[in-house]
Structure formats: structure tokens, C-alpha cells
A and B are shown apart, each in its own frame.
Chain A
Amino acid sequence: DAGITQSPRHKVTETGTPVTLRCHQTENHRYMYWYRQDPGHGLRLIHYSYGVKDTDKGEVSDGYSVSRSKTEDFLLTLESATSSQTSVYFCAIRGDYSTDTQYFGPGTRLTVL
């Protein structure tokens, strides 16, 4: 899993509550990504980071914010969770620059009731 951990691994919350998911990496990679995976939609990019305090939006960024204050941690926040944000969230890092490959963390299953 390329030294990537995600926490929590499972979470159930209620509509309207804030939620923060954490991605932690141990190998000093510059690029980090947050995806969501839903049946019929595949993996979709939410936000990504290309350095400390450097972030950009992906294709499904509405309702999500991110922060990266340290190289090793990339946080995804749902300010006010909605049922449409029920999903499996994966963090990824960009590994070897010569190959542009991305490696994924174990995922967080989020249920918004």
C-alpha cells in the first residue's frame, strides 16, 4: 500500500455534520489525491495536492475542502455531510515520476444517514 494509511476506515454520520478524513503517507511523496468511488461512476478525483499548502480541484470537488499543512498528511473535509456523499473514499500518492503511477490507500467507507 506504498506506506499510505487512512483514518477512519469506517464512519457513519448524520446529514449536516462535519466530517474529516485523514490520509497519511510515510514516504515524502509530493503529490497526494482524494478520490471517491461509487457504483456506476468508478473512481472520481475530488481534490489533489502538489505540495504543502498547494491544492487544486478535481472533477467532483463541490461540497469538499482539503488541507495539507505537512507533507505526510492530506485531509479531506465535508463541511456539512449529505447523503449523496455516502461513498468509499480513497487516498492516493503519485509514486515514481518517471512512470506517473498512483498508489492507493486502503480506503474509508463513509455512510451519511
Chain B
Amino acid sequence: QKEVEQNSGPLSVPEGAIASLNCTYSDRGSQSFFWYRQYSGKSPELIMFIYSNGDKEDGRFTAQLNKASQYVSLLIRDSQPSDSATYLCAVTYGGATNKLIFGTGTLLAVQP
């Protein structure tokens, strides 16, 4: 059973702090990894993707990938109340790149 696991939260952080969101996956053949943000009642919105071990930075967001540990994370620096949303982790699976499996998401609440 291919799985993507996320802590459902809520993860509560104060404004200006670093929010750390974590995801583990079971399929060692997974090649591509994605983070989506979803506001309540809206569709998922792509934030970042990462393919190689290590860190990838884009503005206030940093994705981290460790394939040996089957672990991917998202750091949000200088968290803002507007970052409050559910964050979905997704990975390709089965050695293919045309299908994604999603975690159930982590709810982030940034307190002003």
C-alpha cells in the first residue's frame, strides 16, 4: 500500500516564526515531491516541487528532501496569518511520474 503520511495538526505558530511541516512516504521509487497549499473551500495551489536530496528555497519557503529516510519537509519562514491553510504533500509513485498520491494534509494556523 503506497502511503503518504502527514500530521493533521493543527500546527499553531506565532506570526513571524518558522513553521515546519513534515511528510513521510512509503514508496522508495517515488521520484518527484510536491507541496500544495489549500485554503478552506478552495482548490489546491502548488507551492513547490523538489526532486533531488537537499534543500530548495523559494522566497520564504524551503523544501527539504531526504530520500534515504523517505522524508520531505516544508519550512515557512516569517510566517504570516495569510499562510494559515492546509498544506498537502504529494509524491509520484510506482516509478511513474504521471500520477500523484497525496497526504491528508496539515492544518497550519499562524497566530497574529
A residues adjacent to B (C-beta < 8 A): 1, 31, 40-45, 48, 50, 58-59, 90, 94, 99-107
Contacts and interface: CB of A to CB of B under 8 A. Distances in A.
A42 B98 contact: no
Contact of A101 (B34, B101, B104): B34
Contacts of A31: 98
A-B complex: 7 closest residue pairs judged by Cβ atoms: A42-B104, A43-B102, A104-B43, A100-B97, A100-B32, A42-B102, A104-B44
A99 B49 contact: yes
B21 interface: no
12 contacts: A31-B98, A42-B102, A43-B44, A45-B100, A90-B44, A100-B49, A100-B92, A102-B46, A102-B90, A102-B100, A103-B46, A104-B44
Interface residue range, chain B: 20 to 34
Contacts of B31: 100
Interface of B: 31-32, 34, 42-46, 49, 88, 90, 92, 97-105
Contact of B104 (A40, A94, A99, A103): A40
Given A90-B44, A99-B32, A107-B43, A42 B105 contact: yes
B98 A50 contact: yes
Nearest to A95: B46
B110 to A, nearest CB: 22
Given A1-B43, A43-B88, A100-B32, A48 B99 contact: yes
Contacts of A101: 34, 46, 49
B44 A42 contact: no
